[in-house]
Structure 1
């Protein structure tokens, strides 16, 4: 098991696809390098929502995990998101990425079906049971519909292999309670637009999609907040949130890829049924890039 410190800032890694929806290996490698060399991230969160993971086959997921690890080597901490409502696939991927040398695994709460908490707990324990690795719960209720209580999180954290949570929710009361109740658990903020208040509440790091392009500002917010320079951090959060608003208005993942393209990175297309880039979307991305970078 890796003993690398998992704290810090992670980009939720984008994946480059060609116009036919195939993995663009060259582009993916460039995105990894951009995150390491330009955005100066502490780590990469591979296989999450930002990587369009839930539209991929098992073999495609494995290939992305391989490419990311091969390009990053040991330059950066790597967390692999292996969650799926196909539990056998999650178990297979957990073993696969552990063998590749990923520093931790993560799994989204099982979604679509209304699973009971006992079923959710079984899911996590089954994924982690036979691998020598650490698990980060991926809690994102607004997409999964799965809300867990403080006590339920505590039941999961009772497993020594379950060491943290990617907390992508706006419930900062729950976040504060979790930080106070479980001081030794790793908590990662999952909403880029709320990095400052999450840092004030004591998160250990953050995992975000916009960090693929906005990692430098994210670092400034995170470090200034930890130094209690709140007004300075807030000014950068304001700029960051203006950027996020413009990105969301133009199409989240596609616009981040187009911004990377402006930075010289072959970030490619999004996987269908996500929309293809229109001339208007491309033009707006150019405007956004000139405004913020």
Structure 2
């Protein structure tokens, strides 16, 4: 399960339906052009928290049908509704996903015992391995080293998608749990995370910048830090421009410039203005090869 995974975008029609053909095109672009090792399906980048349970299942099904056994697949099943989470976990497992993942429960201020019970309930419902999705900036859930240890004590919690800038905690997790998988979740911080001996990364911008991500990761692994820093600088120039223009709509527009039917966004997300679309085209022409 080591390697680079795209946090997969999903293509939607203007009326909010899943655009299956567009989704397949996004999958193919990631595998054939960006050459990532796998896909992280129905995460934040896939607008997961804006769609219905049936649409989530549809996306899981279409992606698996397109990929088959060509790449590794991780199914993000986390939900505030534990019944939905366990239902999706079983559905993705039955489809043959290599692992499931679940965001920490959010919005309500759950204590750690509640968070732990959430993860163990999901695992009790399914015969699959689970990767914690930790993104404190969006969930408000900050877990410490001891709490990660309590979760990692479950032999089927195999790792964490670590989307946080706390490199002290990242290093401590790496030191304390050498057999658990650590995936970096902040694309702009891939180099410093790689120096700390992560096992891979899961990134939104890998949809359009996966090849550079691999360069950063492999150069760092080989000790070529100056070269890796140069590639991270270009990557961060790209990320700066994308964030300034709107993360998700800009990535979708760049995919369109590359000939991929990336569709539109789910409301309440808004599409790019005409000027925003021109800026996305400029970014694509400047950075995407």
1:181, distance to aligned residue in structure 2 (A): 0.5
- 1:142 corresponds to which of 105, 130, 137: 137
In structure 2, what is the Cα distance between the partners aligned to 1:36 and 1:276? 26
- 1:264 corresponds to which of 242, 254, 259: 259
SS of aligned partner of 1:169: coil
1:277, distance to aligned residue in structure 2 (A): 2.2
1:130, distance to aligned residue in structure 2 (A): 2.6
| Alignment RMSD (CA, Å) | 0.5
**2:113 is the counterpart of 1:133:** no
In structure 2, what is the Cα distance between the partners aligned to 1:76 and 1:220? 19
**2:191 is the counterpart of 1:196:** yes
Cα shift readout 1:113-145 (whole Å, capped 9, x = no counterpart): 000100000000000113111000000000000
SS of aligned partner of 1:187: strand
SS of aligned partner of 2:226: helix
**2:28 is the counterpart of 1:37:** no
SS of aligned partner of 2:91: helix
- 2:202 corresponds to which of 207, 232, 238: 207
Superposition pairs for residues 270-285 of structure 1, below 5 Å? 270-285=265-280
**2:94 is the counterpart of 1:105:** no
How many residue pairs were aligned?
Answer: 288
Partner of 2:60: 65
In structure 2, what is the Cα distance between the partners aligned to 1:125 and 1:181? 21
SS of aligned partner of 1:45: strand
1:255, distance to aligned residue in structure 2 (A): 0.4
In structure 1, what is the Cα distance between the partners aligned to 2:272 and 2:201? 29
- 2:211 corresponds to which of 216, 237, 256: 216
1:263, distance to aligned residue in structure 2 (A): 0.5
**2:165 is the counterpart of 1:170:** yes
Partner of 1:182: 177
> With structure 2 as the length reference, what TM-score do the two structures score?
0.99
In structure 2, what is the Cα distance between the partners aligned to 1:7 and 1:126? 26
SS of aligned partner of 1:203: coil
Partner of 1:154: 149
1:276, distance to aligned residue in structure 2 (A): 1.9
1:18, distance to aligned residue in structure 2 (A): 1.2
> With structure 1 as the length reference, what TM-score do the two structures score?
0.98
Partner of 2:13: 18
In structure 2, what is the Cα distance between the partners aligned to 1:161 and 1:217? 32
- Moved beyond 2 Å, runs of 4+: none
Unaligned runs of 5+ in 1: 1-5
- 1:227 corresponds to which of 213, 218, 222: 222
1:76, distance to aligned residue in structure 2 (A): 0.4
In structure 2, what is the Cα distance between the partners aligned to 1:163 and 1:154? 12
In structure 2, what is the Cα distance between the partners aligned to 1:63 and 1:137? 23
Partner of 1:94: 89
In structure 1, what is the Cα distance between the partners aligned to 2:107 and 2:244? 27
In structure 2, what is the Cα distance between the partners aligned to 1:161 and 1:291? 43
In structure 2, what is the Cα distance between the partners aligned to 1:106 and 1:128? 10
- 1:118 corresponds to which of 113, 118, 126: 113
1:47, distance to aligned residue in structure 2 (A): 0.6
